[in-house]
Structure 1
């Protein structure tokens, strides 16, 4: 039996002495705070134990849109090499651009189909996942549940929580940190001291 289960068994006996309305109020308070704490951890890409989540794989590159264009100074990958041009001209299927290298300038031709841009998704995972629209706290008499219930957010969170997809490292999206358990214990004690 893990520490959380032992802790819950001890607390359940005390909470059972409260009126149903008091149990709902306590569950709402705890559920709201645990939801907020999990949302902060998800935003900062931190596991409940305080360690960082496993990083994304690869460079996460994306193709240039069919009608998209390059701007001068915009970095891009061409056959795996990072390139940044000081001037660019768009000629449909190819770009012509130049850059200064030492004392002379160089001009190159770049095929649109081989130009890759670094995706912004490289920066941080789960940017929208902790929004209240998807991460919700539900309370009932004597219980509070925090999680993702429907839609793509639930699927993404479940895949990362278990690492179920091929080559996907597990990332604990929802969980209890030692500070969370200590906070819950302290909140229940304070509430019981006032209510009983």
Structure 2
């Protein structure tokens, strides 16, 4: 999702949210963040980027060039590591602590060590977190449902 799309969504929502009390905005932010975490978790589980393209398969450490077929990021997508934070002014879905550096390495395709004293490797870019069109629609539908109730 482009930043222009996020700005349009923000411009559309700002007058609606201004009418809510702080505790109502916090509850709405928590509901939206929880829903987004669920959709991000499912997308990571299906091994796809926000644009729908599949993740680059990982290489095996056992034999050079062999691609492993087991699922990546099986632990990192759990609620223990993929967390939400909410306040009356917004909500955040992301990775925090040590896991954040691992996620950042994969998100942006950075270089890191495979093990503590192992070789430095350039990881493939795999967008763990990001907005898709379905996520944008999910957020707007969730907010409208909340305001309608």
Same fold (TM over 0.5): yes
- Choose between structure 1 and 2: higher strand proportion: 1
Contact in 2 for aligned 1:31/1:137 (Cα 8 Å): yes
Unaligned runs of 5+ in 1: 62-76, 81-117
Provide the TM-score with structure 2 as the length reference.
0.82
Q: How many residues align?
A: 137
Q: What is the rounded CA distance, in whole Å, between the counterparts of 1:5 and 1:45 in structure 2?
A: 28
Give secondary structure in 2 for the equivalent of 1:175. Answer: coil
Of the three residues 73, 82, 85, the one matched with 1:135 is: 82
- Aligned: 1:171 with 2:117: no
RMSD (Å) for aligned C-alpha atoms:
2.1
Contact in 2 for aligned 1:35/1:137 (Cα 8 Å): yes
Question: Which whole-Å deviations, capped at 9, do the CAs of 1:167-191 have from their partners, x for residues lacking one?
Answer: 3221110111111110111121222
Unaligned runs of 5+ in 2: 112-120
Provide the TM-score with structure 1 as the length reference.
0.64
Aligned residue for 1:50?
A: 52
What does residue range 41-120 of structure 1 map to in structure 2 within 5 Å? 41-57=43-59, 59-61=60-62
- Aligned: 1:180 with 2:140: no
Give secondary structure in 1 for the equivalent of 2:122. Answer: coil
Larger Rg: 1
- Aligned: 1:191 with 2:137: no
Contact in 1 for aligned 2:57/2:69 (Cα 8 Å): no
Shift of 1:193: 2.8
Question: Which whole-Å deviations, capped at 9, do the CAs of 1:92-137 have from their partners, x for residues lacking one?
Answer: xxxxxxxxxxxxxxxxxxxxxxxxxx89x65121111111111101
Q: What is the rounded CA distance, in whole Å, between the counterparts of 1:131 and 1:27 in structure 2?
A: 20
- Aligned: 1:146 with 2:93: yes
